[in-house]
């Protein structure tokens, strides 16, 4: 298993080792001991989620506030997505910047999106199955979002706007500078 720090060092790309032969393949998709040794802190994933979507579906940018903030470990089981994590920690040197990584069934890459980041993805192939672990349960009262098309974020979603399919909720999210529901850089949200 290979762990790669991105341009925002807290967001980690995970490349599992794939063992394949004429019968197919085997891959460890999660190893808590290796990930926690790399990160230097413990994670307690308590829930797995899965969605199936058609090409053009954009989900995000979502996050939950403390005390129900979430770390997500995301991957694609079938198909292809562009996965995005946006730093929403005030006073962070990378505040408002994002990481965008293509996750596919073929490359088997995963992305660790820590607490303090908004997360979203756009589906690039029909019948894409997206799976993720979270370390905190869904909390409607702490659920928040940022506009996927906020020009300050400058995210290239790889599809034309008219190709995107969004929920009503995701079409009305505030821009980053229009919300005070953010995180503070340097605060340990894992205690």
Which residues carry out catalysis? 62, 132
Which positions ≥6 away from 144 have C-beta within 8 Å?
62, 63, 64, 65, 179, 181
Long-range contacts of 166-171, Cβ-Cβ distance < 8 Å, separation of 24 or more: 166/57, 166/58, 167/59, 169/145, 170/58, 170/59, 170/60, 170/145
Tokens describing residue 190: 């894992």
> What is the rounded CA–CA span in Å between residue 160 and residue 162?
5
Which three-class secondary structure state does DSSP give residue 15? strand
How does DSSP classify residue 30? -
**Residue 101 region by backbone torsions, left for phi larger than 0, else alpha for psi between -120 and 50, else beta:** beta
Give Rg (Cα) of the chain: 16
């Amino acid at each position: 298993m290979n762990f790669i720090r991105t341009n925002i060092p807290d967001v980690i790309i995970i490349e599992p080792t794939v063992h394949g032969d004429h019968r197919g393949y085997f891959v460890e998709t999660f190893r808590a001991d290796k990930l926690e040794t790399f990160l230097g802190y413990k994670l307690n994933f308590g829930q797995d989620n899965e969605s199936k979507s058609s090409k053009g579906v954009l989900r995000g940018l979502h996050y939950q506030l403390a005390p129900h903030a979430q770390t997500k470990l995301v991957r694609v089981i079938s198909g292809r997505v562009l996965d995005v994590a946006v730093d929403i920690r005030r006073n962070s040197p990378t505040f408002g910047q994002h990481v965008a990584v293509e996750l596919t069934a073929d490359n088997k890459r995963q992305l660790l999106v820590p607490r303090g980041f908004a997360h979203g993805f756009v589906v690039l192939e029909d019948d894409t199955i997206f799976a993720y672990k979270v370390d905190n349960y869904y909390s409607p009262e702490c659920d928040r979002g940022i506009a996927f098309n906020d020009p300050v974020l400058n995210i290239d979603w790889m599809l034309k706007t008219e190709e995107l399919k969004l929920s009503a909720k995701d079409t009305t999210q505030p821009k980053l500078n229009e919300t005070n529901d953010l995180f503070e850089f340097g605060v340990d949200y894992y205690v």
